[in-house]
Amino acid sequence: MFDNPILKKMMDQYGHIDDLDKLQAAMREDGFGEFVDLLNNNPELINSFIDEHREDVEQSIRHYTGSGTIPIQEPIYGQPLSNDDTFRFDPQLCLTDCNGKCCKGRNYLMILYPDIFKILTSPAARHLKIHSTQDLLERRPPIIDLFLNEEYDLYLPYLRFLPIGADSNTPPEEAADSICPFLYPISDVFSFHKLQLPQNARKDAMGCMLMDCKPSICRLSPVGQARGMVTGRLSYEYIEPAKNCPGCAADVEIPLPQYVNALLSSSDEEERALFHKMLMAHNTRRQEGYDQKRFKSVLLESYNIDRLLSINDYAPKQRPNYGQLLKILIAAAQGDVSLYDKFIQSMNKSNHKTMKINRNDREYTSYIEQAVVMAYQKLSDLTDRIVANALKELISQKEDRIYRVDYFGAKEEMMHRELLVQINSVGLESKCPKRILVNALKQVLGSVKGFIKQGTADDAYLKFIVDNFK
């Protein structure tokens, strides 16, 4: 979204904070006090910066859900279990002697990417008005938050726990009595799933609305799971149940392999293996000295896959499945983003076709694109960024707003001016109603931005439309 590396970095770090005082406090805490002072002493600097990037900033604040670095590590309550170990547990006691203890009293719970798909396709999702990844990631407060996990050097998904009815601005760290957003009174859970509630269930028992579609780490509860990278391999350890789990005051002794096999299917294992293959590919490349920035942004965008689809006019039901996405992500983790680029381009191409359905749009977007192609034929150094800026300036003029463009030198400015002349010379102003013209300019700008966002080449959009007009 951002072509300015400083702004991009700032949004990665502070994109979730939309209060200026809190933002300044967080930046000072991170050692950027002098920068904050500089901005405070030059209000016109920040105003012009915000004006220039208003659209990006507003979109980012609305849609970005990552909240910086995860402030806590997953707590490890007990000793690792080995394959020969047994433990005591009776799930009946969850209903009779507990009220959802393991789904409360923490702020975040790390889940896996396939868990997001499980939640979306669960029978409870529609009941809870969860129809897309946007509903999971973009609500205030979000149901799932993405945090930078420093060990993996990646954004990973976490369920975000909060007290019932918590203010959307309350950071979970400050929220006492946090519970999982899927924890409900057991009567509601059983009634939704059309199950008979056992008579001996506690009145205040709580249960998971997701039932069989809960994240794999939850299905294993009260057995815990510790994940970490050891000597370049992703390690998985099962951890003995927490001592305070009432279900463990049981006479029944369960062997660990039997318990795990009953709860995790082979497809769970396969999905987990794919995700781990991606993590390990990323880790290997990191150790080889690659910065992996592109892969990290591809992963971040893929978590909110339905947003990517929606900006290209696709519905969530058209989302690629988990296996298809992981194929793209594993290749990206290995340094090959061509599959991802193809995926985005295929959406852009289809968009391009749908864009031509409306007669007015077809006419005027086509005029604008032809003008851009003509300018590109004259100015071989033209870039997508200059095209985007020219379109933004034209839109601003039509909407009676001022748009200031800062260029790196006279040559870029000359190309910008030439482009404005070229687009205006097709006689748009005289022939086209303003509203339709602005819409057409915005449609073309949307396409250009799509290509800039992919970051494949400085003139990827220009090449694309030249091909299109052949």
**3-state secondary structure (DSSP) of residue 277:** helix
Strand partners, 109: 159
Contact between 182 and ligand SF4 by CB under 6 A: the answer reads: yes
Element housing 33 (H / E): helix 33-41
Only segment of 11-19, 243-251, 330-338, 458-466 that touches ligand SF4 (CB under 6 A) = 243-251
CB of 304 to ligand SF4, least distance (A): 19
Asked if 93 touches ligand SF4 (CB under 6 A), the answer is yes
- Of 239 and 281, which CB lies nearer to ligand SF4 in the complex structure? 239
Q: Taking the complex as a whole, how short is the minimal distance between the CB of residue 194 and ligand SF4, in angstroms?
A: 19
The amino acid present at 119, given as its one-letter code, is I
Does residue 101 interact with ligand SF4 by CB under 6 A?
yes
* Interface region with ligand SF4, contact rule CB under 6 A, candidates 242-250, 336-344, 348-356, 405-413: 242-250
Q: Applying CB under 6 A, does 330 fall inside the site for ligand SF4? A: no
Closest separation between CB of residue 221 and ligand SF4, Å?
5
Q: Please, which residue, 159 or 390, has the CB nearer to ligand SF4?
A: 159
Any contact of residue 102 with ligand SF4 (CB under 6 A)? yes
Among 94, 130, 332, 379, binds ligand SF4 (CB under 6 A): 94
3-state DSSP: the chain helix, strand, coil percent, rounded to 5? Answer: 55, 10, 35
CB of 100 to ligand SF4, least distance (A): 5
CB of 196 to ligand SF4, least distance (A): 19
C-alpha 251/C-alpha 87 separation (Å) is: 10
Rounded Cα–Cα distance for residues 115 and 157 (Å) = 9
List Cβ<8 Å contacts ≥24 apart for 273-279.
Answer: 274/114, 274/322, 274/323, 274/326, 274/330, 275/112, 275/113, 275/114, 275/326, 276/234, 277/326, 277/330, 278/326, 278/329, 278/330, 278/333, 279/152, 279/154, 279/234, 279/333
98 near ligand SF4, rule: CB under 6 A:
yes
Nearer to ligand SF4, 214 or 352 (CB): 214
Helices (H), 334-409: 338-355, 359-378, 384-398
Least CB distance to ligand SF4 at residue 242 (A):
7
What is the closest distance, in whole angstroms, from the C-beta atom of residue 187 to ligand SF4 in the complex?
15
195-224: contacts with ligand SF4 (CB under 6 A): 208, 210, 214-215, 218, 221-222
CB 461 within 8 A of CB 448: yes
How many residues in the shown chain lie near ligand SF4 by CB under 6 A?
22
Q: Which amino acid is at 342?
A: K
Query: β-pairing, 80-81 with 233-239?
Result: antiparallel
Query: Nearest distance from residue 393's CB to ligand SF4, in Å?
Result: 49
Map residues 116-155 to x or -, x wherever contact with ligand SF4 holds by CB under 6 A: ----------------------------------------
Select 7 or 93, whichever has its Cβ closest to ligand SF4. Answer: 93
462 lines the binding site for ligand SF4 (CB under 6 A):
no
Closer CB to ligand SF4, residue 208 or residue 386? 208
CB of 176 to ligand SF4, least distance (A): 18
Among 247, 388, 437, 447, binds ligand SF4 (CB under 6 A): 247
3-state SS class at 359: helix
**11, 70, 103, 445: residue in contact with ligand SF4 (rule CB under 6 A):** 103
In the bound complex, what is the minimum distance in angstroms from residue 419's beta carbon to ligand SF4? 52
The encoded tokens of residue 50 equal 């915000």
Amino acid at 71: P
- Using the minimum distance from each CB to ligand SF4, give the nearer residue, 60 or 107: 107
Cβ closer to ligand SF4: 208 or 428? 208
Side-chain-facing half-sphere of 122: CA atoms under 13 Å: 24
Q: In what order do the strands lie in the sheet with 233-239?
A: 80-81, 233-239, 224-230
C-beta neighbour count of 38 within 10 angstroms: 12
- Closest approach, Cβ 16 to ligand SF4, in A, equals 22
Instruction: Judge whether 66 and 148 are in contact, CB under 8 Å.
Output: yes
Task: Check: CB of residue 161 under 8 Å from CB of residue 106.
Answer: yes
Smallest separation, CB 93 to ligand SF4 (Å): 5
| Residue 180 sits in the site that holds ligand SF4 (CB under 6 A) | yes
Measure the CA–CA gap between 47 and 20, rounded to whole angstroms.
13
Distance of CA 218 to the CA centre of its chain: 22
CA angle, 1 as apex, 66 and 147 as ends, to 5°? 10
The residue ranges that bind ligand SF4 (CB under 6 A) are: 93-94, 98, 100-103, 109, 159, 180, 182-183, 208, 210, 214-215, 218, 221-222, 245-247
